Amino acid sequence: MSDHNSSKAEQDREILRDFHHWIVIARAMVHDTFVGDDTELQRMTLSTAHSLMLEHQLSEIKTSLAEIKTSLNSGKD
């Protein structure tokens, strides 16, 4: 049971590190062009970071699916 908990804890830490990475990128993007109050700036930064992270994950999934498809097609020969 503790192995599962430590695995889950490590996975949670990785997600937080990934999201922090995207927040840093989003902050640079949003802060350069944003004119408004701090609350809206923070909301836009978090929203942008979330979108960037999801786009990145989708890209990784598409790449994996393409590799699987290629592997399956090469097995038909």
Rounded mean pLDDT, 20-38: 88
Query: Using the 8-state DSSP alphabet, how is residue 35 labeled?
Result: -
Residue 1: band (very low, low, confident or very high) from pLDDT cuts 50, 70, 90: low
Cβ-proximal residues to 44 (8 Å cutoff; 6+ apart), any chain: 30, 34
pLDDT at residue 55, as a whole number: 93
DSSP alpha helix (H) spans, the chain: 2-33, 38-75
59 Cα distance to chain centroid: 10
> Residue 42: its pLDDT value, please?
92
Q: What is the pLDDT of residue 12?
A: 80
User: In this structure, which amino acid lies at residue 1?
Assistant: M
pLDDT for 52-67, tens place per residue?
999 999 999 999 999 9
How high is the pLDDT of residue 34?
82
